[in-house]
Amino acid sequence: MPDIPRKAITRGAKLAALPVSFAGRTAWGFGKRIGGRPAEVVSAEVARRTAEQVFAVLGELKGGAMKVGQAMSIFEAGLPEEIAGPYRATLARLQDAAPPMPQAQVRAIMTEELGTDWRSKFVEFSDRPAAAASIGQVHRAVWHDGREVAVKLQYPGADKALMSDLDQMVRMSKMLAPMLPGFELRPLVEEVRARAVEELDYLQEAENQRTFANAFEGDREFAIPHVLVAGPHVLVSEWIEGRALSTVIADGTAQERNLMGTLYARFLLEGPARASLLHADPHPGNYRMTPDGRLGVVDFGAVGRFPTGIPADLGRILRLAQDHRAEEVVAGLRELGFIKPDIDIEPDHVVEYFEPLVDPTRQEVFHFSRDWLRGQFTRYADITSPQASLAFKLNLPAEFVLIHRVLLGGIAVMCQLDAKVPMRSTLETWLPGFADS
């Protein structure tokens, strides 16, 4: 398996070839339609071939290219089925796997990070990765004290490749957009780029993970692995046994999907309350269903820091929106900076704009589904709708950007799970301000 392509010109060429290939497939499809093949059959074939090439390239490049692919994979549940269908399988593969590093390279990294005697720290060490992702891969091993551990290694050159990819994808977002209908690619790439640097710092990730593990120590519903040792490019922590959340999405029972959806929603909200940290990478590859029915959580490179928890103003405004107290919602949003003083706005339209966040709070148990999410996406995609025009009037203050992204990503994952979740009681317990309004 070749090393991660490092030179910007090589990586850029691979990305630049994507829209060219797409144009060729589109021309091929046009020719097939002229030749008499049904348009829907040809379109499906073009979409399938495009999906396979796009995500094969993103997976090969790893780095920022694959990171964007993983971020995209969260939101496939909101796309129309005729678009999402051909992309779903290739998107799902990006949630959990990527081509591995050569074994010699693995041994070289371990020697550099943990010393020439690194094997003496392990009873067993598998040279083949158990999982691989955008900037690193994980090996299963047995620590010298008998504990099973996960050894996370960062790909050589991942730092340069990550930023080079993201810069390139920002520049190419308009060219790539026709290949990925339904995705707002540029803001997604820009958001991934904004938090990319911290994910490269395994020492900081180790501190984040220790904080979470201590806060959730002995919990009967969540499993957070403790860190044993960390270096700039290696992180050794306890192994979490279980089925990946993507597997539960694909073939879990209704009971399993409801349980995981409920625990998943709670963890996103409980983190700031219990650890003063928000887990900021909600894609399913970071979660496991343990054999005893707990939610296991891994990968703590991206977090938001909230020393006093999620701001109570957010919960208060969400509750006001639930009660359709539109004038008070607008007043609260103006106070927080979501609406600038000189912007004239219709209060009822504002409440409708936040429907994806508000609707799940109106029932004791809410059914998150792909059909529901597609309906929400359709409203925003309609350029004649009030929701579409509001996007240009509302401001998102910096302190709420991460919360907003995690909440929307979390909703999308729960829709992939097709889970029934007691959102109202979860918010009343764990979202400050929601129960008090």
Average pLDDT, the chain: 79
Q: 288 forms bridges with which residues in the sheet?
A: 244, 296
Q: Report how far apart, in Å, the C-alpha atoms of 61 and of each of 6, 7, 77, 135 are.
A: 9, 11, 25, 10
Beta strand residue intervals within 239-294, DSSP E: 243-244, 277-279, 287-289
pLDDT in tens, 176-221: 554 444 445 566 666 666 667 778 889 999 999 999 999 999 999 9
Burial class from Cβ neighbours inside 10 Å (0-12, 13-18, 19+) for residue 34 reads: exposed
User: Phi/psi of residue 279, each to 5°?
Assistant: -70, 120
The C-alpha atoms of residue 404 and residue 395 are separated, in whole angstroms, by 12
Of 150-159, 289-298, 301-310, give the range with the top mean pLDDT: 289-298
Q: From the CB of residue 436, how many other CB atoms can be counted at a distance below 10 Å? A: 10
Specify the pLDDT at position 55.
Answer: 52
Task: Look up residue 312 and give its two tokens.
Answer: 């109570």
**Where are the chain's structural domains?**
8-99+158-197, 312-430
Q: DSSP labels for 1-39?
A: -PPPP--HHHHHHHHHHHHHHHHHHHHHHHHHHHTT--H
- Parallel, antiparallel, or unpaired for β 295-297 and 222-223? parallel
Burial class from Cβ neighbours inside 10 Å (0-12, 13-18, 19+) for residue 282 reads: buried
The C-alpha atoms of residue 387 and residue 207 are separated, in whole angstroms, by 40
Model confidence band, residue 2 (pLDDT cutoffs 50, 70, 90): very low
Q: Is the pLDDT of residue 133 over 60?
A: yes
The C-alpha atoms of residue 202 and residue 199 are separated, in whole angstroms, by 7
Residues in Cβ contact with 225 at an 8 Å cutoff, skipping those fewer than 6 apart: 150, 209, 213, 237, 238, 239, 240, 296, 298
